[in-house]
Chain A
Amino acid sequence: MNIAFAGNPNVGKTALINAIAGSKLKVGNWPGVTVEKKEAEFKYKGEKIQLVDLPGTYSLSPYTVEERITRDFIINEDPDCVINVIDSTNLERNLYLTLLLMEMEKPIVIALNIFDEFEKSGYKIDLDKFKKYLGIDVIPTVATKNKGLNELMDKAIEVAKSKKHYKEMKYSLLFDRFIENEINKLIEKLKKEKLPNKYPLRWLAIKLIEKDEYIIQILKKETEKDISSLAKEHIMVIEERFNDDTETILTEARYGIINGILKDTLKKPKNYNIPFTEKVDKIVTNKYLGLPIFLALMYIVFKLTFDGSGPFIDWVDGFINGYIGKYVSLALTGAPNWLNSLVINGIIGGVGLVLTFVPLMLFIYFFLALLEESGYMSRAAFVLDKIMHSIGLNGKSFIPMILGFGCNVPAIYATRALENEKDRKLTAVLVPFMSCGARLPIYALFTGVFFVKYQAYVVLLMYILGIAVAIVVGLLLKNTKPFETAKSPLLLELPPYRVPSAKMLFGSMWIRTKAFLRKAGSIILMAMIILWAAINLPYGSTPNNSYLAKAAKVVAPVFTPAGFNKWQAVASVLPGIIAKESVVGALGQTLGVEKKSEKKKTSFIQDTRKQIMGLIKATIDSFRNMFISFTPGIFKIESISNSTFSQKIRTVFTPLSAFSYMVFMLLFIPCIVTLAAIKQEFGWGLMFFEIGLLTIIPYIVSVIVYQGGRLLGFH
């Protein structure tokens, strides 16, 4: 049995679905678009249920992706029952979508959610009368307290089984007699057209009268007929009579119907307002406090996320590469060397890379859910919209951008908070220009060698340059066809503040992290094996006669205008795609600086104990980092003090070419995990676009920097 959940945003749909399907939920995207799709399959009282969460929408017009998805799903997938979740504290607006759903003539049950607040604030509703007016079942629910869930499911299954399609609209739900008359005339005409019978005729007639371009186009494709002309005379008659366009006339008529129903069934409390939300908003969106509060909150989220996950990341890294790697390597004794290296460096290295992101993902998804579910995210957008809109973004883009300074990967996933697909894409494209923590070791190396006195300033300059490039690219892209964000209006609801339930926060953190492992994991592993081959083949070669080195020697002259045309510099770019900090190690290798690695003999038990102790220590460190220290650790520059290394660096770079190289590294492809995140969220197209962009732009900018520097007399 196929049950679809539909409703406005912020009505507790997610909470309700989590409560019903729990751990069975899976997140992904709707095909071809970047709108999040949640699904689950489970058994309820012996009945196999396929649950689908439709995107939160206010209407079913053809103008937004979410609304088109919802419509197409209901028409094409023909769910056995639609559960319409509505916020009982805001019936007027919520019922608008209900009426639109009912026009689609599917079995419907209403979940009258947030019923606790409804009762608490003094509303009263005559449920029996309300049901009678609508002609459908209505179940009060409190998603956060698991109230009404079983009744809701029972009713949905009952309704689905009875196949109660609402073909006969209740009298109370009909439009004005004049309009209904025209609709009926059009229905008669449509009956003769032999249209696919998935379209309810009354719905189709209404859509045609509303001049719905989208359905007209689809019908043209499906039937090769243009039936829009059939509606022309009816549109004219109605528009003449009511002196407005038909879309507006019908919208107003629906709100009229809703008012009629509510007048007779709902008692509003005298002077109802939301005092708590009002009070908080007075401070949080205050003229002077709004921005500082936002920045303070961002600082806290940033710090907790990166400092809290840091120790766990290090532990996972050691656990996989040190512990698991060591014993797999032992198990492979006797196997050829190249196989050992492929397994350890390629496969286990890849798995390790994916897993090191898990702590970070868990932390970031937790805080994102907290910001979103509490209602603060919309306020952040409200406060910052003006700044972000000027470069073609939306107020909510600010949060992914800030997270990008910690790590680009969670920042890409954080774009989910944006409603508009084009805003999301443009934000994701710009995120990699934010200089992430992994780029610091590169800055540390070069500033440590060439700019010791001005180390902090040069590093700061890198951050600023990244932002500047993002602004320029944003301005260039905002009017191009695939992004076009400049045109999309802001229609942002500021929902009342609500305390999110812990279950929901942890639920959302867990299912999204699982999706990351499943989807991004495979791509990363594949890329790791390819990169392993590029760096290590032919097997047994030294860093300066591998295929990579040979290719780098050929390509190097291309970088002459940017100032770094030594093959070592060029060859080190590729390992940087695995993770930016690898560039430092790669430079060490190509320059022939040996890393001293001492191997003590330890037993399995000793190693295992060390890992367990390590995990405990990581947990303690995580807490200490989050709550005791003040500066985010991710910005600490750890200088690399190795005198032979810095001498070797001086043979390959001058101060200016080192600076140019840093700029190149700042702007170049951040890492395969970021690319995999972009692929998972936006598809191959945007990923390749990003690869192109993040190759061309760093080249151009570093050439400008180098040539400009030379003109100014630097070298």
Chain B
Amino acid sequence: MKLSDLREKQRAKVIKIDGSLKSLKKRLADMGFVKNQEIEIKRIAPLGDPIEISVKGYSLSLRKKEAEKIEVEKI
């Protein structure tokens, strides 16, 4: 499933990032979205977008459009 499909407080593991946008893939990987990385959706913004994700011990906010590019597996 995609990261954008997760609901608040759900945890998941990164499977892979869609590489169609090379720069985005690299930047996400740099910021900690690497294979098998555990993440958690902390909250969704009041207007439904963006979302806040806990990764590698810090909080990062992404738009749904970008979160769609990250494939995850629920845990």
Residues of B within 8 Å of A90, CB to CB, are 56-58
Of B25, B45, B52, B62, the contact of A386 (CB 8 Å cutoff): B45
The smallest beta-carbon distance between B20 and chain A, in angstroms, is 12
Q: A92-B56, A93-B57, A489-B24 are in contact. Are A61 and B30 (CB under 8 A)?
A: yes
Cβ B24 vs Cβ A382 within 8 A: no
Given known contacts A92-B57, A286-B46, A287-B46, A491 and B26 CB-to-CB distance under 8 angstroms: no
B contact residues, range: 20 to 34
**Nearest Cβ distance between residue A228 and chain B, in whole angstroms?**
15
A506 interfacial contact with B, CB 8 Å:
no
CA of A93 to CA of B60, assembled, Å:
12
- CA of A387 to CA of B50, assembled, Å: 11
- With the chains together, A588 CA to B23 CA distance in Å? 58
B44 and chain A: residue at smallest CB distance? A287
Contacts A61-B30, A63-B23 given; indicate if A491 touches B60 (C-beta within 8 A).
Answer: yes
Q: Which residues of chain A are near B47, meaning CB under 8 Å?
A: 383, 386-387
Nearest to A287 among chain B residues (CB) is: B46
| A247 contacts chain B at the CB level, 8 A cutoff | yes
> A494 to B49, Cβ gap below 8 A?
no
| CB contact between B58 and one of A285, A288, A493 (< 8 Å): that residue | A493
- Determine how close the nearest CB of chain B comes to the CB of A674; give it in whole angstroms: 31
Q: Are A494 and B63 in contact (CB under 8 A)?
A: no
Report yes or no: B63 in contact with A251, Cβ–Cβ below 8 A.
Answer: no
Q: B62–A491 contact, CB under 8 A?
A: yes
Instruction: Please give, as numbers and ranges, the residues of chain A lying within 8 Å of B62 by CB-CB distance.
Output: 489-492
Q: Assess whether B10 is interfacial by the CB under 8 Å rule.
A: no
- Chain A residues lying within 8 Å of B63, measured Cβ to Cβ, are 385, 389, 489-490
Residues of A within 8 A of B46 (CB): 285-288, 290-291, 383
Contact of A181 with B by CB under 8 A: no
Chain B CB within 8 A of A248 CB: yes
Contact call B59/A494, Cβ cutoff below 8 A: yes
- Is the beta-carbon distance between B29 and A382 smaller than 8 angstroms? no
Complex CA gap A93/B52 in Å reads: 17
Q: Does A255 contact B (CB under 8 A)?
A: yes
A96 within 8 Å of B (CB atoms):
yes
Please give the number of chain A residues whose Cβ is less than 8 angstroms from any Cβ of chain B in the complex: 38
Separation of A495 and B43 alpha carbons in the complex (Å): 15
- What residue of chain A has the Cβ atom nearest to residue B30's Cβ? A59
Complex Cα–Cα for A245 and B47 (A) = 36
Cα of A96 to Cα of B66 in the assembled complex, Å: 22
Alpha-carbon gap, A385 to B61, bound state (A): 10
A490 touches B66 (CB 8 A): yes
Q: How far is the CA of A485 from the CA of B6 in the complex (A)?
A: 27
Residues B49 and A385 in contact, CB atoms below 8 Å apart: yes
Contacts of A42-81 to chain B: CB distance below 8 A: 58-59, 61, 63-64
- A494 and chain B: residue at smallest CB distance: B59
Q: How does the 8 Å CB contact mask read for B9-31 relative to A, with 1 for contact and 0 for none?
A: 00000000101001111111111
Within the complex, the shortest CB–CB distance from B26 to chain A, in Å, comes to 5
Q: Is A281 part of the binding interface, using a Cβ–Cβ cutoff of 8 Å?
A: yes
Using Cβ atoms and an 8 Å threshold, which residues of chain B touch A63?
Answer: 23, 26-27
Q: Is the Cβ of B45 less than 8 Å from the Cβ of A489?
A: no
A427 to chain B minimum Cβ distance, whole angstroms, is 18
Closest CB in chain B relative to A418 CB, distance in Å:
15
Cβ of B17 to closest chain A Cβ, rounded Å: 8
Scan residues 31-48 of chain B and give those whose CB is less than 8 A from a CB of chain A: 31-32, 34-35, 42-43, 45-48
| B47: nearest chain-A partner, CB-CB | A386
Contacts of A381 in B (CB 8 A): 61
* Cβ B31 vs Cβ A58 within 8 A: yes
**Chain B contacts for A58, CB-based, 8 A:** 27, 30-31
CA distance A378 to B61 in the complex (A): 9
Report the Cα distance A387→B52, complex, angstroms.
17
Q: Is A252 an interface residue (CB 8 A)?
A: yes
Nearest-CB distance from B64 to chain A (Å)?
Answer: 10
Indicate with 1 or 0, residue by residue over A493-508, a CB within 8 angstroms of chain B CB atoms: 1110000000000000
| From A291, A378, A386, contact of B49 by CB (8 A) | A386
Question: Within the complex, what minimum Cβ distance (angstroms) separates A112 from chain B?
Answer: 16
CA distance A489 to B50 in the complex (A): 11
Chain B nearest CB, measured from A489 CB (Å): 5
Cβ contact within 8 Å between B27 and A290: no
- Residues on B with C-beta less than 8 A from A93 are 31-32, 56-58
Contact A491 B31 (CB under 8 A): yes
Taking a contact as CB atoms under 8 Å apart, the answer to whether A494 and B31 are in contact is no
Q: Is there contact, CB below 8 Å, between A386 and B34?
A: no
Which one of B22, B30, B59 has the highest number of Cβ atoms from chain A below 10 Å of its Cβ? B30
- Bound Cα distance from A288 to B47, whole angstroms: 9
Q: A382-B45, A491-B62 are in contact. Are A245 and B19 (CB under 8 A)?
A: yes
Least CB distance, A282 to chain B, in whole angstroms: 8
| Identity of the chain A residue whose Cβ is nearest the Cβ of B57 in the assembled complex | A90
Q: List 20 A-B contacts (CB under 8 A).
A: A58-B27, A59-B26, A61-B26, A63-B23, A90-B58, A93-B56, A247-B29, A252-B29, A255-B34, A281-B42, A285-B52, A290-B45, A381-B61, A382-B50, A385-B50, A386-B50, A490-B66, A492-B62, A493-B59, A494-B52
Using a CB–CB cutoff of 8 Å, the interface residues on chain A facing chain B are 58-59, 61, 63-64, 89-90, 92-93, 96, 245, 247-248, 251-252, 255, 281, 285-288, 290-291, 378, 381-383, 385-387, 389, 489-495
5 other contacts beyond A93-B32, A248-B34, with CB at 8 A cut-off?
A59-B31, A251-B29, A255-B34, A290-B45, A490-B62
The 9 closest A-B pairs by CB, nearest first: A59-B30, A386-B47, A290-B46, A494-B59, A63-B23, A251-B29, A492-B61, A252-B34, A386-B49
